[in-house]
Structure formats: structure tokens, C-alpha cells
Amino acid sequence: MTPSPRQATPGRSPPSAPSLRVLVTGASGFLGRAVVAQLVARGHTVWGTSQSGRPPADPAYRDAIDRVQWLSWRSEETPLPAHSLAEVDGVIHLAAGRDRKGFPDAEGALA
């Protein structure tokens, strides 16, 4: 019986997925840091946005964060610049505005 394309063949590595160029908005946030770490671990090229344009000071994600190209973007003020979208295969939008009324503190809730 021939395995279907979705089944792994024992003793052989599954074919690797092509590397993607991904822009992650809100990459310095609670969810963004985890998404960025997973993308980098899978070999993708990642651009991340943060309001400051700098990575977060989070030692748990330091290896992944150091491999991200950082852009400054404030979601509540301006649309993403067209040039930042021209070079990517996809966008994962996780940015939130500064006005967080009605949103619980995710990090505090999980602590």
C-alpha cells in the first residue's frame, strides 16, 4: 500500500515546507512573541512590527527575536506602509491599539 501524501514514511523525514517571508504585526506582544518564535524555528524569514520598532526585552524569546527584522508601526495611527507588504508572502495581524478598555490583561490572567 502506498502512503498518501499526508502520511509520513517510517525512517524518512517529511518533505520540508518552503520558507516563507512573513510580517507579524504586534510581534512584540504576548501572542506575537510566541508566533514569531514558532515561525523562526520553522526557518521562515520574519518581519515584526512594534510601536517602538525595537524588539521586546524577553529573554525567553531572545534567539528568535534577534533573528527578526523590526519595523515601527502604530496601528491606531497609520496603515501599514505599502513597501512593508511588497516583500512578504503573508501577514499575521496581531497588533492591538493602545486603548485596551474592556480587554483583560492576558499576561496577568495567565500568571
> Residue 35 has what pLDDT?
95
> Residue 56 has what pLDDT?
81
Please measure the distance between the N-terminal and C-terminal CA atoms of the chain and give it in whole angstroms.
49
- Reply yes or no on whether the pLDDT at 74 is more than 70: yes
Q: What is the spatial distance between Cα 33 and Cα 2, in angstroms, rounded to a whole number?
A: 40
Listing DSSP states for 39-96 in one string gives HHHTT-EEEEEESSSS----GGGHHHHTTSEEEE--TTT-PPPHHHHHT-SEEEE---
* For residues 52-61, average pLDDT: 80
> Residue 15 has what pLDDT?
60
AA identity, residue 41: A
Give me the chain's average pLDDT, please. Answer: 77
Confidence at 103, pLDDT banded by 50, 70, 90:
very low
> Residue 34 has what pLDDT?
93
In tens, the pLDDT along 5-55 reads 445 455 555 566 779 999 999 998 889 999 999 999 999 999 999 888 888
